[in-house]
Structure 1
């Protein structure tokens, strides 16, 4: 049977299909072999691998049993596809983030996920549960996913991190006063790391701020770069160098206009003292 080329970056269905094909081929199985083990047709397996059809809950559990999965399960993927616990395109970005030697990011409104404390992240997740956007199970998955993402950066040679937060990230209250105090302390500790540069883009920049949405720029060991940007409903990666030129130039301009690292720490101290 001919097997179509797969692109995990296209979306969560495609990413699931890539995962299934990789697991199947690692065992030396054909689609017919997997079909025999799952009681589904080869055509059905092919449709899942190419992202044309999502797996049912029953098949997801069968696949977990067949491949002996207890973590990163197909059942979890099933619920993510059905309810969207993670923004479409984000999982593919995180795989690239794990390989990056340098991470540049700009965030607006909320402290960037990589810098969030567990309590801050939980307050955000619980708010989405309260609004009916995700289930409690999805909230727990989101928190576990974030914790693993943060832990992946604590490697022997951690990536250089250049982070610019809009001033709104400090002013936007999340959770209790204690949650915010702990978060401010965590930001100050992050700023002191040898592999980190933390800056705040002040409100005074006005229209000079080049970005109105979160932006991420990754640099890999071979010098290649990956860009990622989010809207409310979707995230999208960009690899084309010519298209990344403008994003890099705008980011460099923002670094020059943002508060210095020392001024940023001073502003965080003011926020912690309730003087913003």
Structure 2
């Protein structure tokens, strides 16, 4: 105890991770050597993470979850790790992406921007460059966001990919991002998406008016056990909803949205019209 370093969990997410690791270890009556044996890491490694001298890794975080019986709960060390690694992202979003990578069905609705899983790297980079110019994030954070998006897309391109349903407000395909050539490549990417056997692409036209049930992005996931969860965002925060009483109205509204939106064939025709510069 003579060399015990006092921790300030409020100083950074990494410090909060280490302080929690120490608190749980001591609550179990374990020394660092005891926890190191359970986790498969050296006691020096455990000490370095606890005191913030070493960043936790994904493997370390998952091992801690196993040791403390937290795997599958809402407050895992893995979730804390993702929030540290992706600090430039909205709170809750890294956790959502973790579930998305394992989902059997993904339903997306977006206003104003192409949804992330359908974006080209060039389109995504142009969006983040705009945030940098406005001073809301750094260039390093912008690069981190783009790489996180590419990882997210790769997780959906697995051997047995999920069914992906995407409904885009018409503003998504008419709002130019990344210049004419970049937008052309992005629209072509949408057409490629529509051709895949596990996807559905629809446009919610302006003509829907008040029939459009959502005014902001909505993501719905169906997991392997058929549980459904929703992810929604405000300007500053993301929120993952698991309660069926809250999720069910969003699922119902999404089905209504699909019914009122253009068919995939009509949506593809509209995209091609925009590519040709016709109204």
CA contact (8 A) 1:61 1:75 kept: no
State the 1:28 CA deviation: 2.0
Check whether the contact 2:109–2:168 (CA below 8 A) recurs between aligned residues.
yes
Q: Closer, same or farther in 2 for the Cα pair 1:223/1:76, shift >3 Å?
A: closer
CA distance change for structure 1 residues 120 and 35 in 2, over 3 Å: closer, same or farther? Answer: closer
Residues 152/80 of structure 1: CA separation in 2 closer, same or farther (3 Å cut): closer
Q: 2:227 aligns with which of 224, 228, 232?
A: 224
* CA distance 1:152–1:26, shift in 2 (3 Å): farther
Q: 1:28 is paired with a residue of what secondary structure?
A: helix
Aligned length, in residue pairs: 235
Aligned twin of 2:124: 121
Offset of 1:245 from its aligned partner? Answer: 1.3
1:37–1:146 Cα change, 3 Å: same
Is the CA contact 1:107–1:213 (under 8 Å) kept in the aligned structure 2?
yes
User: What's the Cα RMSD here?
Assistant: 3.2
> CA–CA distance in 1 between the matches of 2:177 and 2:228?
33
Q: What 5-or-longer segments of structure 1 have no aligned partner?
A: 1-11, 46-54
Asked whether 1:144 is paired with 2:147, we answer yes
Q: Is the 8 A contact 1:160 1:195 kept in 2?
A: yes
Correspondence for 1:28? 38
Deviation at 1:29?
A: 5.8
Q: Secondary structure at the match of 1:199?
A: strand
Note if 1:175 corresponds to 2:178. Answer: yes
In 1, distance between residues paired with 2:192 and 2:239? 31
How far apart are residue 37 of structure 1 and its match? Answer: 2.8
TM-score by length of 1: 0.76
Change (3 A) 1:202 1:62: closer
Q: Which residue of 2 aligns with 1:7?
A: none
Paired residue for 1:249?
A: 252
Report the CA distance between 1:155 and its aligned residue. Answer: 0.6
1:241 deviation in Å? 1.1
1:266 to 1:242, Cα distance in 2 relative to 1, 3 A? same
Task: Provide the residue aligned with 1:235 in structure 2.
Answer: 238
Pick the structure with greater CA Rg.
2
Deviation per CA, 1:185-213, whole angstroms, max 9, x where unpaired? 00001001000000000001111110001
Q: Name the TM-score, length of structure 2 as normaliser.
A: 0.75
